[in-house]
Structure 1
């Protein structure tokens, strides 16, 4: 076993031993036992029903309102630590935060909206269908659930890896609220607040808002100024009406605007890359051409010209039918509008820039009939409708194609319509034995239309007075489509589990579930064949054995699972050469035949004493391709590619958190620390050694003092100053680019509750 593996084993054993020893000592001290009531129950809605975490026969980690109040999370990335085998990063490839979310080695790290997510991000029951904007800010988040493994039954397609399920607080009749302001490294100012109050006897309103401004952690040496500045503004409101005891209606609206500098990527080259021939060579393997991961030399403007706008509306109606039956309707609307001119070459010249205005719109409708109660049968039955459309008007600025400057353009519009019916129910065969059966039938239809614009060739680097113009035509090797093409797919995704309660506090289960990610069309093609030929759906079968347990008077909670996941037609996105086309490149999604992922996970929380809580998790993952033969080098000759390692699949991840509270003077002193480990892993499809991440250890900590409803905090993030890559991308034989992890940062915050 590796040193990381030994460390994890020792760490876990020590944690359990300390918990057991401390609990034994506490049992011997009657006063302490009476003063503590054990761990509070965690309520989750992972199956679209309200349940205790310990009763759900699936791998779930969760953070409740109490835990979240003690953290200083910025966005969804900070929630990753709460669960084993989870990686979440910002790819820096677009405005608004483009998420790369991986669970158990399954995910997507591409900016194109044609590439469906493999991990679903859900907020207040609404699934976000694109990676852009999925790094949701930690504003008014009341509960975080990380569901590991395919969630095809109740969450549907595009949740093969799992789901990040976020829930916000509900409006209250009483006047309640919270405001937090903070200042931290890199001139970062953050202000967020939420307030709820009653408008009438059966009407409550919640209003939230946030503002964040930062200079960012990248310095642009070419422009001689900070190169990652951004401003974020958000406002939201939710109205809750309860006209009768049986009827509940809620309507919410959120508006967000981000203005930021384009992402400051780092060029990394090998001696054989074209950029190195042009004079931009990495000084050493894995080192950017600037010589420093936090120094950029790109020549694009750093003037907050990139924009990301988000509008989201959610409507819900819930009616209590009586007899343990509830009927619920959920409507969701999400629209985003973004623009960015990004320097992908990351050199002082215009070698490869893109202008990428894009628009996205999704509408969802969901109806659920739920049966709860204490009888032997409980279930949820529902129907789901999805309708989305996106358009991108891409323009490329190419300075390495022969002439001083060449521009090309491409317009892509894709639509998706999806219909689904689903069921999941529990039947208690005995008081201890429970059978769960579920299934979802999904039908997807997608269309695409792609048209290239004219190619302009200029005699200088200025975009003026072209010396040649190539009009779009098939003869010129450009894509011309008069009408969209379409394809459709249907899939049934079942689930079966059997659980047994050995005692009130110990449950074991066996689970088989299937996930499904729809097929689709390439969103950045360079040839007509790549534009019109769909790639196939992927399916994933998950076999899992797990347990849930609480012991020592509910002072210790230990959950775990063994899993084996088998992939069929695994989708992988990569950049490949496309000779004779306007850019010479294209983005292509291929089906990587088969893959196998297996491992185990443990999740521990222990109340050592009334004042001290220790928690943590550990995940082990062995991910390998099986029978993978593909044209990965775009030579026209498929090769055996099983030698490749699956990206973003570290063998070990673990996390250890400690929280201590004690009454000191007129208030409460709170100490929190968290150490998070990510094992070494690949971040590029072709396993570029210059973009490989070694093992990383991130330490966060905070000290807070609370008097009544006022809390003053000092906090640090990534205090060990790890600088691993969060994104790496190969443009084969030309160059590669990457972005580093946010560095060490410190801050102070004041929180006022009422």
Structure 2
């Protein structure tokens, strides 16, 4: 789609904002009597109550590490509170992305370590598990290694588009997802829900909140899921992706005084299941959601984390301390020839341990002309990856009959990387006038990586030589990366509810080592950088019944890290330059009390301008998972009175244009419409619902990679998204 279309649309958005910001002309009125004044006042009260019922809430966000009205934050943000997450039945970041402009995500069938998130066309090839272009933050702490598989008892989620390095550091050059769990409150609350879906899927979640005293409260929330999965393994005649997961979170809140609070958050989850979810694109086209592996494989992941948050408010300055620790482990056993033959197998293990500490000072006077936050940050991470890749003699004979009887080949790799990160940062917004505001931010970030790796290849020497493998390898490397991350914004606030802004920000993702390929591990790859230019507007119109945001962006990427699979593992190259540009529009309209219409539109172009020395892509290639058009439209209605009071109806559709799902643009996903619907009955203390997802039963590949170097003809291999599913849910609370 031509970029001039985007320019026209954003020009229309900005012109509308400018016109709405102009003061209206005044007209003289005839004198009125005292009786008319009283009647008018009474009518005004009635009208005010009616308006309140049809008014959208004034959203307050915290992702800029200050409490701010969303309409006044000059950052492109999509906001979802806990009720919206429940109403839309959102289970993970994949489903969340369908409602979010500029965001595209794909979860890989229980393999949370491999979740793909693309914001504004910036997506990495999974170069290493430390470095992703989109940061994920849960309760103030960065999460690396894996994404928690379930949403439950959430306060809100804020999706920030564009580089967020000033406040959030490296690995946020595309954006960030900032999630907050509901904290303990000083009153009793109990909530429980149960759901049953297609494929024998059972979901349970619950929460108990209780005050312990006038200054202490506790909140415990958890979720459980079991499913037979929607993949069928034809070779084994079994379900291919049955799974079970359990998540638990406990929090203790202490409020010894009005100025000091402490919150201790203990959280964890465990998930395990089968892993027969891969096939070629051609086989899936002929027989969707059916696989052929002779081994079901398996995937297991678990995490345990602790977050200690302390806040102290002085006379004019607040101090916040966030201390985090998390251990994460992931194990994946898979049949990687993706056929019924016993040819190739892989056992991959990842262990990640991280510790972080952030201290922040910030202004407390929300009415002050100067709003600021500053702080220091430090973290330590240790990541160990182990990969056992087995090549059976049955496969070797297909390569060369002379290998018959020479035994199997087993490739063992074991790498450990230690990462030290330190930073100082600050950001301030100053009102030059009542309408003109400027924001400046700066972060200095330093990352140091220490790597060591070993490889032991077992098998006949002649066979190893034929595959270019030596018996043993040892590697070690040390490398420091640093960046200065500035941010500049100019805003014009026509009214408290109409704001336009222009911003320039820089983001980066540190370089690293090729930990998936020990023989090449010492050949480190460079950091990648982005400059983002954005013009946007945020408005609340029609007596706060319509919230509208528009953003036009251009992002220039340099040295983008891209991964390419090879027989010995993988290699990472830096592409020369890439860019993305586009338009995002999000709107929510409260038609009347109980009626909401919501929409999100993305128009985007993202491609590689100069592939440089990268073997993973080419100049002119489109960035994967970057559709030119994504459009979501939905409606939700709750009957407020009458015999049908409490009736809940919701329906939405997300249209996604065609897009490539690999770096070398060989696999194209056709356009899809993801339709979902929900109907139920809601009362004060209980509710019941029927719902359906992917009602059109669209056939969608999640991701794809080229496996032809090991299996001839397998140029496009991957899993699929879930087919049509139906469910019933009941919820009680008191």
Normalised by the length of structure 2, the TM-score is 0.89
State the match for 2:26 in structure 1: none
Q: CA RMSD in A?
A: 2.5
State the match for 1:280 in structure 2: none
Determine if the alignment matches structure 1 residue 55 to structure 2 residue 72: yes
Deviation readout 1:126-180 (Å, 9 max, x if unpaired):
11122x3x15411111201110111010011000110111111110110013211
Partner secondary structure for residue 629 of structure 1: coil
State the match for 1:100 in structure 2: 116
Asked if structure 1 preserves the Cα contact closer than 8 Å seen for 2:409 and 2:457, the reply is no
Deviation readout 1:573-622 (Å, 9 max, x if unpaired):
1224xxxxxxx333111111111111111111111112211111101111
Structure 1 portions without partners, runs of 5+: 21-26, 269-285, 458-467, 577-583, 634-639
Asked if structure 2 preserves the Cα contact closer than 8 Å seen for 1:453 and 1:471, the reply is no
State the match for 1:580 in structure 2: none
CA distance in 1: counterparts of 2:385 and 2:607, whole angstroms: 34
Determine if the alignment matches structure 1 residue 413 to structure 2 residue 405: no
Q: 2:164 aligns with which of 122, 133, 151?
A: 151
Cα distance change of structure 1 residues 435 and 615 upon mapping to structure 2, 3 Å threshold: same
Cα distance change of structure 1 residues 41 and 348 upon mapping to structure 2, 3 Å threshold: same
Q: 1:646 aligns with which of 623, 638, 641?
A: 623
Determine if the alignment matches structure 1 residue 722 to structure 2 residue 714: no
Cα distance change of structure 1 residues 728 and 243 upon mapping to structure 2, 3 Å threshold: same
CA distance in 2: counterparts of 1:31 and 1:326, whole angstroms: 36
Determine if the alignment matches structure 1 residue 287 to structure 2 residue 282: yes
Asked if structure 2 preserves the Cα contact closer than 8 Å seen for 1:85 and 1:652, the reply is no
Determine if the alignment matches structure 1 residue 377 to structure 2 residue 370: yes
Asked if structure 2 preserves the Cα contact closer than 8 Å seen for 1:79 and 1:144, the reply is no
CA distance in 2: counterparts of 1:117 and 1:263, whole angstroms: 26
CA distance in 2: counterparts of 1:333 and 1:526, whole angstroms: 28
Instruction: Spell out the pairing of 1:238-257 with structure 2 (5 A cutoff).
Output: 238-257=251-270
State the match for 1:460 in structure 2: none
CA distance in 2: counterparts of 1:546 and 1:352, whole angstroms: 51
Asked if structure 2 preserves the Cα contact closer than 8 Å seen for 1:95 and 1:258, the reply is no
Cα distance change of structure 1 residues 98 and 263 upon mapping to structure 2, 3 Å threshold: farther
Determine if the alignment matches structure 1 residue 701 to structure 2 residue 681: no
CA distance in 2: counterparts of 1:115 and 1:477, whole angstroms: 28
Determine if the alignment matches structure 1 residue 677 to structure 2 residue 655: yes
Cα offset, 1:358, TM superposition: 2.2
Asked if structure 2 preserves the Cα contact closer than 8 Å seen for 1:120 and 1:158, the reply is yes
Q: 1:436 aligns with which of 415, 439, 446?
A: 439
State the match for 1:129 in structure 2: 144
State the match for 1:86 in structure 2: 103
Moved more, 112-121 or 311-320: 112-121
CA distance in 1: counterparts of 2:344 and 2:326, whole angstroms: 32
CA distance in 1: counterparts of 2:731 and 2:101, whole angstroms: 30
Structure 2 portions without partners, runs of 5+: 21-43, 398-402
CA distance in 1: counterparts of 2:190 and 2:62, whole angstroms: 24
Cα distance change of structure 1 residues 97 and 137 upon mapping to structure 2, 3 Å threshold: farther
Cα distance change of structure 1 residues 340 and 469 upon mapping to structure 2, 3 Å threshold: farther
Instruction: Spell out the pairing of 1:434-473 with structure 2 (5 A cutoff).
Output: 434-456=437-459
Moved more, 65-74 or 39-48: 65-74
Determine if the alignment matches structure 1 residue 329 to structure 2 residue 321: yes
Instruction: Spell out the pairing of 1:396-545 with structure 2 (5 A cutoff).
Output: 396-399=389-392, 400-402=395-397, 403=403, 405-456=408-459, 477-478=470-471, 480-481=473-474, 484-525=476-517, 527=519, 530-545=520-535
CA distance in 2: counterparts of 1:380 and 1:136, whole angstroms: 32
Cα offset, 1:372, TM superposition: 3.1
Q: 2:554 aligns with which of 564, 570, 574?
A: 564
Cα distance change of structure 1 residues 233 and 116 upon mapping to structure 2, 3 Å threshold: same
Cα offset, 1:336, TM superposition: 1.2
Deviation readout 1:369-409 (Å, 9 max, x if unpaired):
01131111111101111111111221111243444632211
Cα offset, 1:478, TM superposition: 4.8
CA distance in 2: counterparts of 1:631 and 1:724, whole angstroms: 28
CA distance in 1: counterparts of 2:195 and 2:411, whole angstroms: 44
Asked if structure 2 preserves the Cα contact closer than 8 Å seen for 1:424 and 1:436, the reply is yes
State the match for 2:29 in structure 1: none
CA distance in 2: counterparts of 1:437 and 1:34, whole angstroms: 38
Instruction: Spell out the pairing of 1:567-586 with structure 2 (5 A cutoff).
Output: 567-576=557-566, 584-586=567-569
Asked if structure 2 preserves the Cα contact closer than 8 Å seen for 1:725 and 1:738, the reply is yes
Normalised by the length of structure 1, the TM-score is 0.86
Cα distance change of structure 1 residues 362 and 431 upon mapping to structure 2, 3 Å threshold: same
Moved more, 604-613 or 95-104: 95-104
Cα offset, 1:95, TM superposition: 3.8
Asked if structure 2 preserves the Cα contact closer than 8 Å seen for 1:179 and 1:192, the reply is yes
CA distance in 2: counterparts of 1:307 and 1:710, whole angstroms: 35
Asked if structure 1 preserves the Cα contact closer than 8 Å seen for 2:562 and 2:614, the reply is no
